[in-house]
Structure 1
Amino acid sequence: MKLPESNAPSLFDRPALIRHRDRARDDALFLHHAAVDEVQDRLTMVNKTFTDPAIVAPFAHIWHDVLPGAQIVADDEVLALTPDAHDLVIHAMALHWANDPVGQLIQCHRALRSDGLLLVVCLGGETLHELRAALGQAEIEISGGLSPRIAPMAELRDLGGLLQRAGLALPVADTARLTAEYRDLTHLMHDLRAMGETNSLSGRMKYPTKRQVFARAQQIYADHFQTPAGRLSATFELICLTGWSPDDSQQKPLRPGSAQTRLAEALGTKEGKLSN
């Protein structure tokens, strides 16, 4: 499948993202294991057996034993998925790095058969809000401006709307927040590097940051987000999206005015007029 070309600049530097992922360490991928738990939990609530699953994920080995026999593909801009080939597609921990998130969801939709399920887990807007605030204030104080450091991540309501734009039915979006604790800012930065989640923005600075910025950010972080034990608290928001490939068997909302029973009758009350 060939996607339409766009002249818009890419938000993310894909070669840089791949380099960052290549140096990730397995013992630091706790967010991906948390995503596996979220997916398994949601699948237990679906009264359906899936026989042809596919998984879009940057770290395939995390998912090998989750759904035996699943096709696992990389989160490339053009996904290696066959149209109408799957009854379940999982897009795992990659949508927040997509230059075209709607395009990713549309491709997943096309890979689903009728009444197939799309399940997405990605990082949301509350992720690293503490680090974003501390670095932003420190850079303004020391350098007099801001530079792109932490990728903008979509809010829950925005991601829910993307499912509808991608043509999926019965969309649901919810969130789970995880909190990690770190000794200091350097410890957090090293962990993000080990996760493969460091800055891959196309507009990121290409020269080293002043040490004073990080020193001041450490102070701000500790002043506002320190735990009683003296460690730094960092939030990671996992957003979970589910949507179905449309099918005639699915429930549909009633048309306005089609109700056969008055609300007052159903509640066992009397109708009355509103007065000012």
Structure 2
Amino acid sequence: MTAPIVFDHELIARHLRRRKAGAEDFVTSLALYDLQDRLLAITRKFEQALIMGPDGAALPARGESHDGVFAFERVSTALPAPGMPLVDPEDLALPRTDYDLIVSIFDLQVINDVPGFLARIRRHLRPDGLLLAAAVGGNSLTELRQAFLAADAALSGGAFARVAPFIEVKDAGALLQRAGFALPVADVESHVVRYAHPMALMAELKALGASNPLADRPERMATASLVTTAAHAYQEMAADADGRVRATLEIIWMSGWAPHESQQKPLAPGSAKVSMASMLGNDPKA
């Protein structure tokens, strides 16, 4: 079955091209800092590694695991970048099929066919190759979403999709399993970012090229009245005592391995040689 079209990839590329020069992408910086820590914990010497994301030029050319420094092949999935491939994330024809590490930074939250995307990554990994993927989590920008829902209800009596849906951490492990990954793990890093005013948050999202990427977005642009009403609702629900407002940011990390015979596997049902009852001291035969 063809996945429904939720995200407009041409629009995402336009938003990235319009980013404000010099705007600091602290969200990507947080993810890359966390990636460094995660790689350093892995006892593996990576020989053929790839890192990809919407803007490949913002990604590192090198990484370091517990066993040493390695080079990343970089790929851009939205914005053309000099000297690196531009790959359609819905098709994902990567340059090789024998990577021992693939890292995806913020591709997953703008993919129409997430299980298909993960399955295609697995097919580009050699056996026992590793996927590490970062995605914006489900509770991110929940305050902004609620504020626009309240503003739309107040001004037009309806609700419109103005903030993209994000992946829930409870679904992440199942998505990896569905794509055929072994030893799937998902966890979440939660952050609270504070702004002087809701308008400062909206301005930063626009400066980072993170405006509404939905294909089924409202045809009319947000009016000044709508934005002002949403900002007031935001202030009412998420302001601290000092007047600054909170914004929730979640980064979900997903990891999984291409299947290999050397990997640990669960025991077959009924193969245990010691009963749970005897271990707990409840076995009448003990």
TM (norm. structure 2) is: 0.88
Task: Tell me the equivalent position of 1:47.
Answer: 43
Would you say the 8 A contact 1:119–1:240 is kept in 2?
yes
Question: What is the 5 A alignment of 1:121-270?
Answer: 121-267=134-280, 269-270=281-282
Would you say the 8 A contact 1:36–1:66 is kept in 2?
no
Pick one of 117, 133, 141 that aligns with 1:120. Answer: 133
**Residue 212 of structure 1: CA displacement?**
2.6
CA 27–211 in structure 1, closer or farther in 2 if over 3 Å, else same: closer
Q: Which amino acid aligns with 1:62?
A: A
Q: Which amino acid aligns with 1:19?
A: R
User: Which protein has the bigger strand share?
Assistant: 2
**Residue 154 of structure 1: CA displacement?**
1.7
**Residue 83 of structure 1: CA displacement?**
5.0
Would you say the 8 A contact 1:24–1:193 is kept in 2?
yes
Q: Which amino acid aligns with 2:35?
A: V
The answer as to 2:76 corresponding to 1:63 is no
Q: Counterpart of 2:54 in 1: which secondary structure?
A: coil
- CA RMSD in angstroms comes to 1.9
Pick one of 15, 18, 26 that aligns with 1:20. Answer: 15
Task: Tell me the equivalent position of 2:104.
Answer: 91
Q: For 1:233-256, what per-residue CA distance to the aligned partner results, in whole angstroms no more than 9, with x for missing partners? A: 111110000000000000001111
Would you say the 8 A contact 1:28–1:191 is kept in 2?
no
**Residue 79 of structure 1: CA displacement?**
2.1
Would you say the 8 A contact 1:83–1:110 is kept in 2?
no
Query: Following the alignment from structure 1 to structure 2, what is the Cα–Cα distance between the partners of residues 238 and 174?
Result: 9
Query: Following the alignment from structure 2 to structure 1, what is the Cα–Cα distance between the partners of residues 76 and 114?
Result: 14
Q: Which amino acid aligns with 1:78?
A: D
Query: Following the alignment from structure 2 to structure 1, what is the Cα–Cα distance between the partners of residues 166 and 35?
Result: 20
Stretches of structure 1 that go unaligned for 5 or more consecutive residues are none
Q: For 1:82-119, what per-residue CA distance to the aligned partner results, in whole angstroms no more than 9, with x for missing partners? A: 45320000011111011111121111101100000000
**Residue 209 of structure 1: CA displacement?**
2.5
Query: Following the alignment from structure 1 to structure 2, what is the Cα–Cα distance between the partners of residues 130 and 201?
Result: 19
The answer as to 2:74 corresponding to 1:72 is yes
**Residue 72 of structure 1: CA displacement?**
1.2
Task: Tell me the equivalent position of 1:10.
Answer: 5
Would you say the 8 A contact 1:73–1:79 is kept in 2?
no
Stretches of structure 2 that go unaligned for 5 or more consecutive residues are 64-69, 78-87
Aligned identity (percent) is: 37
The count of aligned residue pairs is 267
Q: Counterpart of 2:42 in 1: which secondary structure?
A: coil
The answer as to 2:32 corresponding to 1:36 is yes
**Residue 263 of structure 1: CA displacement?**
2.1
TM (norm. structure 1) is: 0.91
Q: Which amino acid aligns with 1:140?
A: A
Q: Which amino acid aligns with 1:123?
A: V
**Residue 56 of structure 1: CA displacement?**
1.5
**Residue 51 of structure 1: CA displacement?**
1.2
Q: Counterpart of 2:5 in 1: which secondary structure?
A: coil
Task: Tell me the equivalent position of 2:117.
Answer: 104
Q: Which amino acid aligns with 1:254?
A: L
**Residue 65 of structure 1: CA displacement?**
3.6
Q: For 1:16-71, what per-residue CA distance to the aligned partner results, in whole angstroms no more than 9, with x for missing partners? A: 10001112245331111111122121112222111110112112233234435311
Would you say the 8 A contact 2:52–2:59 is kept in 1?
no
